[in-house]
Amino acid sequence: MSTIAQVVSCLDGYDPDALRVDKAGAAIRACLAPVTQAETVAIRDSLGRVLAQDIVPRINVPGHDNSAMDGYAVRFLDLNSSNEKKETILRQIGAAFAGKVFQGKVQAGECVRVMTGAVMPQGADSVVVQEVCRADGERITIPAGQRAGQNVRAAGEDLKAGVAVLRPGQPVRAAELGLMASLGIAEVKVVRRLRVAFFSTGDELASIGTPLAPGQVYDSNRYTLHGMLSCLGVEIIDMGVVRDDPTQLEAAFAAAAAKADAIITTGGVSVGEADFVKQLMARLGEVLFWKIAMRPGRPMAFGRITSGGHSAILFGLPGNPVAVMVTFHQFVRDALLVLGGRTDSVGVPLLQAVSATSIRKVAGRTEYQRGVLFEENGARKVRTTGQQGSGVLRSMSEANCYIVLEHERGKVEAGELVSVQLLAALA
Ligand code: AMP
Ligand code: MG
């Protein structure tokens, strides 16, 4: 197996001290080895999980040609040609309901009353909606202008027996649950849940429930991480706050690597931090220290840590609360989804919106400003949430989107188009 350094050094334009966001993403992706173990669960429990098998229907859905409307099942050949604008009178010989099949066969000049979902009576090929027909006892008058095959759903129109409909690596959402249920599938193989351990580092951190000493701040990062990880359906291992102390940190990293597939830490990677945190990370495995050309979130560590023969991917995020969310959303989220077996596209698309104000920005880094997307006079517009400091978590709370200002871009003038990414899509 090649080392992480070998893998990333092969990437075009890789520069750890001025790493473009797209290069950092590519470097991370190149190093991921997705989980392959699977388990079988009842389909209800597969919601939010990743399929570890194909779904190949054994039956057609629907199982039979059936009526899409309430009306009369007819033989199209029996109807007077639409050009003549002539009505046709047919004799009703029975009725078919959803779940109750008509037993006979429709012969020339006959029709059968059908309800939506009813199996098409033998011999009939088209359904005329009841609203346009006139019934006088069993004499049914059908107006001119009908089309052959109208209002009939074909057997297998939704799902065809033998034709794979879902693939391994796809997430199970509400639609897939329903789809599997429509095939009568009770259990399904899914990728085992990814285990993600995280802890906060910093001597200044207090846990909630304890009073704040002078100079202390409450640890909020573990809570934002808890929230963001919960949306991904991973198994969460919260390891609390770890002091900036070599022995405690080493023990925490070892414990995390032994039980998790991925480790997320916050704090300890910025330039001002004691170097021993980085030295320690580097000693326990292979960890790269990046200065990413982005704001917020410039410093970040990425690598792999091994303990007791078990290794885990490490994301060493900066300590600032907004930087934690931005680096998580832009790098960690996608990486965890891929590690968890997803093979579809996991990225969140960018939309375009008109900037309602000018925005300060210098070329040479990607910025993720917190924005509010809104509609005005039918136009999609966006404004920033105001103060954009990387410690201002309120800017995330007030936002419904990131305003993504591309690497090369300079100042934005009011009225220019900018890219936005919906926070709801990242959840
Ligand atoms: P660091 O990256 O460790 O230098 O931290 C940068 C800033 O983020 C400092 O102001 C820290 O106090 C703050 N910070 C670090 N970790 C946390 C945390 N878990 N919760 C809230 N603030 C934090
Ligand atoms: Mg710190």
Ligand 1 mutation target, pool 204, 238, 300, 320, most atoms within 8 A of CB: 320
Predicted pLDDT of residue 281 = 85
Closest to 417 (Cα-Cα) out of 337, 361, 352, 365: 352
Q: What is the pLDDT of residue 276?
A: 77
Alpha carbon nearest to ligand 1 atom 18, residue: 219
Structure tokens at 251: 């023990």
In ligand 1, the atom with minimum distance to the C-alpha of 204 is 12
Q: How far is CA 24 from CA 252, 271, 364, 420, in A?
A: 26, 19, 15, 20
Choice from 198, 205, 291 to test ligand 1 binding pocket (greatest atom count within 8 A of CB): 205
Q: What is the pLDDT of residues 328-380, one digit of tens each?
A: 999 999 999 999 999 999 999 999 999 999 999 999 999 999 999 999 999 99
Give the CATH architecture of domain 4-37+193-339: 3-Layer(aba) Sandwich (3.40)
Distance 277 CA to ligand 1 centre (A): 14
Per-residue pLDDT, 274: 63
Across the beta sheet with 139-142, what order do the strands follow? 126-129, 71-74, 110-114, 88-96, 139-142, 134-136
Q: Which residue has the higher pLDDT, 312 or 86?
A: 312
Q: Is the pLDDT of residue 209 over 70?
A: yes
Task: Give the CATH H-level superfamily of domain 66-153.
Answer: Molybdopterin biosynthesis moea protein, domain 3. (2.170.190.11)
Count other Cβ atoms within 10 Å, centred on residue 326.
25
Among candidate residues 373, 368, 378, 383, the one with its CA nearest the CA of residue 415: 383
**Tokens describing residue 128:** 């005329």
Question: What is the spatial distance between Cα 402 and Cα 368, in angstroms, rounded to a whole number?
Answer: 6
User: Phi then psi for 272, rounded to 5 degrees?
Assistant: -75, -10
Q: Which pLDDT value is given to residue 83?
A: 61
Question: First CA to last CA across the chain, in angstroms?
Answer: 34
How many angstroms is it from 165 CA to the middle of ligand 2? 49
Mean pLDDT of 228-253: 95
DSSP 147-189: -TTTTEEPTTSSB-TTS--B-TTPBP-HHHHHHHHHTT--EEE
Residue 42 is predicted with a pLDDT of 98
- Distance CA(370)–CA(31), nearest Å, equals 30
Rounded average pLDDT over 202-223: 96
Q: Give me the mean pLDDT over the 70-87 stretch.
A: 88
For the stretch 51-63, pLDDT in tens is 999 999 999 999 9
Ligand 1 pocket residue status of 219, Cβ below 6 Å? yes
Q: Please tell me the total number of residues recorded for the chain in this structure.
A: 427
Cβ atoms of residues 329 and 337 within 8 Å? no
Express each pLDDT in 241-279 by its tens digit. Answer: 999 899 999 999 999 999 999 999 999 888 777 677 888
Q: What is the mean pLDDT of residues 81-85?
A: 66
The pair of three-digit structure tokens given for residue 373, joined into one six-digit string: 């997307």
Question: In the prediction, which pLDDT does 1 show?
Answer: 53
Q: Which CATH superfamily is domain 351-422 in?
A: MoeA, C-terminal, domain IV (2.40.340.10)
Place of tokens 């849940």: 193
Does residue 100 carry a pLDDT above 80? yes
CA distance 274 to 245: 10
Mean pLDDT of 222-243: 97
- Which pLDDT tens digit goes with each residue over 10-27? 888 899 999 999 999 999
Locate the domains of the chain by residue range.
4-37+193-339, 39-59+161-191, 66-153, 351-422
Q: List the residue whose alpha carbon is closest to atom 5 of ligand 1.
A: 319
| Per-residue pLDDT tens digits for 149-207 | 999 999 999 999 999 999 999 999 999 999 999 999 999 999 999 999 999 999 999 99
> E strands along 202-284, which residues?
205-206, 217-218, 235-242, 262-266
Radius of gyration of the chain (CA): 30
CA of 299 to the centre of ligand 1 (A): 13
Residues 6+ apart with CB under 8 A from 88: 78, 79, 80, 141, 142, 144
C-alpha 200 to ligand 1 mean position (Å): 9
Strands 205-206 and 217-218: parallel
Homologous superfamily of the 39-59+161-191 domain (CATH) = Molybdopterin biosynthesis moea protein, domain 2 (3.90.105.10)
User: pLDDT band at 2, cuts 50/70/90?
Assistant: low
pLDDT at 279: 83
Amino acid residing at 349: P
> Is the distance from the beta carbon of residue 272 to the nearest atom of ligand 1 less than 6 Å?
yes
Percentage of the chain beyond pLDDT 70 is 98
